Amino acid sequence: MKRTTLIMILLAIGGVALSLSVGPMGLNAPDQVILYLRLPRILLAITAGASLAVSGCVLQAVLRNPLATPFTLGISAGAGVTAGFIILSGISLPIYFLYLSGTAGALAASTLTWFLAGRGQRDHSGLILAGVTVNLLGASLLLLIEYMSPASRLVEIIRWMMGDLAVSGYRRVLYLFPFLIAGMVPAMLRTGTLNQFLTGTEMAESRGVNTVRERFFLLLAAAVLAGGAVGAVGPVGFVGLIVPHTMRRLVGGDYRKLLPFSALGGAILMLWADIFSRVVISPAELPIGVILSLLGGPFFLYLLIKKPRL
Amino acid sequence: MSELTLKNFSSGYKSHEKAVYGVSMNLSAGSVTAVIGPNGSGKSTLLKGIMSFPGMKSEGLVTLNSLAIPSMNRRERAARIAYLPQSPPLPAGLTAIETVLLGRFPHRNAWSSDSPGDIEIAMDALEMVGAEHLAEKHTDEISGGENRLVNLAAVLSQQTEIILLDEPGSSLDYGHAAQLWELLSRLASRGIIILATTHRIEMSGNAFDKVLLLSGGKSVAFGKPEEVFLSGDLLSSVYNTPMSVRRASHDGSWIVFPGDSK
């Protein structure tokens, strides 16, 4: 546990230092590049990674399903549809509106999933099935949008769907910040409640948890975290899957430890995936979504084959 | 002294018809009461109704020391009544001791860490069920029966006046089942009210002080075990199979004989 903490702090500090010095201009980059390109990019990676990891971690406890992530619940599909629609429309809007439409789509899709699943009254597989349904619906709508898009816009849509951490200035980080606070604070205050959800609704209820209300708040927090992150960096997947399961192995399943460690782990994963995406075909960049999917696909399979502790 | 009273109490699921009707009984501190009856007779529904879980509706009175249980707030109820469902899911990634510590939840706030006092209570509870050697094992590394004991310890660590248990003896071997009922008797003798459903009269020694017999959602009999077990063909007609119950002369434990063995 102490060793894990130490290694993670070293990985985080090392990641920040490396990320500050990596780029086409390397260490010789002028201060402006470091201050307005690299530093905000690091902050964006950290906040988005922590948000996505905590979102997945919360969902896995509340739904008691190891494969529950923002993406299996239809959030990414929702974000894709609205953001795709904005890009297709070609209206020249401030960039905030693209973020905001991604977030709105993510929240709309998770609300739809929630109602399709009977507002949490039905069993856990009901919610996952509803998520799959919403995902399929979103994916087909996105295909339709892509089909109708002119080539130039199509590239833009596809590029956004692949995830993008490239920033200049702090606007995107500042956009994500309110979502981070609004989702992270209520989740962190409910770590003990999340532990109770692990033993099932009846046990949790018998120990004084208002399961209907708490489930709603926790799902809302997870949706806000994932929605904000998806709006800011695009629908990158698998962070909410890889990080909580890895941390569960390292620090155990007690959410009072697991949730803060997942936040740190998500930040580290995103930070290092971003470094990798910038150096592997330097000076060009690989989209971060591609790297995370290459990591996440096999990990998903691994979880399916080797029964995870959840 | 605590007292659990049901007066003409009915409960059922909001979503479907299955229900239990018109149960009246009075359970006093220090007693073990068994709820028996065929599958689907409403045993679990009765316990869930007493807990007033969301999704349940109820009528009539259910009170703890003349305070209506449905009107208690959740935390207050959780500090006074504990409940063990038939097969609660294994808490993923937790060790046995962490699982037992979950029972301390009603006595503190939602994020605080385990105090030395909490850990002592949890270890005592594990010891009481004879599972202290499992403390550091993960719940997915131990058997179904052992998890049953861990869950029971979690319920004990909640330190309540009433414990409701749904089939606590299922998936326990002869030895552990005997120990379980002995433990429940011991807890009762400390002034706790125990109400447990069971299918296995013969596995429980002579632990019961009272028996409630349910059939088709209705209360058929309530009284001392000898009144319920030995009253003619009552059990045979409720279970729809010839059977007889006798009492062992040396220790008073109950023995069930299938078939016409008169």
A209-247 pLDDT, tens digit each = 999 899 889 988 998 999 889 888 888 878 998 999 999
What's the confidence (pLDDT) of residue A51?
95
Domains of chain B: total: 1
What's the confidence (pLDDT) of residue A160?
80
Q: Which amino acid is at B243?
A: M
Instruction: Provide CB contacts within 8 A for A28, sequence distance 6+.
Output: none
Q: What is the pLDDT of residues B208-258, one digit of tens each?
A: 999 999 999 999 999 999 999 888 889 899 999 998 888 888 888 888 888
Q: What is the pLDDT of residues B177-194, one digit of tens each?
A: 888 999 999 999 999 999
Asked if B110 lies within 8 A of A198 by C-beta distance, the reply is no
8 A C-beta contact, residue A270 and residue A49? yes
Q: Around Cβ B42, how many Cβ atoms within 10 Å?
A: 26
pLDDT at A92 over 80: no
Report the mean per-residue pLDDT for chain B: 91
CA distance A36 to A15: 18
CA distance A53 to A100: 21
Whether the CB of B95 is below 8 Å from some CB of chain A: the reply is yes
Mean pLDDT of A20-27: 82
Instruction: Provide CB contacts within 8 A for A27, sequence distance 6+.
Output: A21
Q: Among A265, A224, A219, A217, which Cα is nearest to A241's?
A: A265
Q: What is the pLDDT of residues A262-307, one digit of tens each?
A: 999 999 999 999 999 998 887 888 889 889 988 888 887 887 777 6
Closest in B54, B78, B113 to A208, CB measured = B78
**Chain A neighbors of B103, CB-CB under 8 A:** 207
Residue of B nearest to A66 (CA): B92
CA distance B65 to A260: 42
ipTM attached to this prediction: 0.91
Residue of B nearest to A195 (CA): B102
Choose from A184, A199, A211 for mutation: most chain B CBs within 10 A: A199
Whether the CB of B51 is below 8 Å from some CB of chain A: the reply is yes
CA distance A283 to A40: 19
pLDDT at B14 over 90: no
Query: Residue B35 belongs to what H/E stretch?
Result: strand B32-36
Quickly state the pLDDT bin for B134 (edges 50, 70, 90): very high
Mean pLDDT of A136-152: 88
Classify burial at A27, counting beta carbons within 10 Å of its beta carbon; exposed 0-12, middle 13-18, buried 19 or more.
exposed
Classify burial at B240, counting beta carbons within 10 Å of its beta carbon; exposed 0-12, middle 13-18, buried 19 or more.
exposed
Asked if A199 lies within 8 A of B82 by C-beta distance, the reply is no
**Chain A neighbors of B106, CB-CB under 8 A:** 207-208
What's the confidence (pLDDT) of residue A269?
96
**CA R_g for chain B:** 18
Choose from B51, B107, B111 for mutation: most chain A CBs within 10 A: B111
Q: Is B52 helix (H, G, I), strand (E, B) or coil?
A: coil
Asked if A202 lies within 8 A of B75 by C-beta distance, the reply is no
Q: What is the pLDDT of residues A146-184, one digit of tens each?
A: 888 888 888 888 888 888 888 878 988 998 999 999 999
Q: How are beta strands B67-68 and B243-247 bridged, if at all?
A: unpaired
CATH number attached to the domain at A44-305:
1.10.3470.10
Q: Which two tokens stand for residue B121?
A: 């209570």
Closest in A64, A66, A196 to B105, CB measured = A196
**Chain B neighbors of A217, CB-CB under 8 A:** none
Phi and psi, residue B55, nearest 5°: 90, -10
Asked if B94 lies within 8 A of A195 by C-beta distance, the reply is yes
Concatenating the DSSP letter of every residue in A160-228 gives: HHT-----SSSHHHHHHHHHHHHHHHHHHTTHHHHHHHHT-HHHHHHTT--HHHHHHHHHHHHHHHHHH
Query: Residue B78 belongs to what H/E stretch?
Result: helix B74-80
Quickly state the pLDDT bin for A123 (edges 50, 70, 90): low
Q: Which two tokens stand for residue B183?
A: 């433990």
Plot region of B125 (φ>0 → left; ψ -120 to 50 → alpha; else → beta): alpha
**Chain A neighbors of B83, CB-CB under 8 A:** 202-203, 206
Quickly state the pLDDT bin for A122 (edges 50, 70, 90): low
User: Range with the lowest mean pLDDT among A121-125, A246-250, B17-21, B111-115?
Assistant: A121-125
Quickly state the pLDDT bin for A114 (edges 50, 70, 90): confident
Classify burial at A194, counting beta carbons within 10 Å of its beta carbon; exposed 0-12, middle 13-18, buried 19 or more.
buried
pLDDT at A194 over 60: yes
Query: Residue B60 belongs to what H/E stretch?
Result: strand B56-64
CA distance A34 to A239: 26
8 A C-beta contact, residue B94 and residue B138? yes
Q: What is the CATH number of the domain that holds B35?
A: 3.40.50.300
Instruction: Give the residue numbers spanning the domain of B55.
Output: 3-258
What's the confidence (pLDDT) of residue A124?
63
Choose from B72, B83, B94 for mutation: most chain A CBs within 10 A: B94
CA distance B188 to B209: 10
Asked if B98 lies within 8 A of A254 by C-beta distance, the reply is yes
Q: What is the pLDDT of residues B53-106, one digit of tens each?
A: 988 999 999 999 989 999 999 999 999 999 999 988 888 889 999 999 999 999
Q: Is A286 helix (H, G, I), strand (E, B) or coil?
A: coil
Plot region of A169 (φ>0 → left; ψ -120 to 50 → alpha; else → beta): left
Residue of B nearest to A196 (CA): B102
Chain B: give the shortest CA distance to residue A208, in Å: 4
What's the confidence (pLDDT) of residue A86?
83
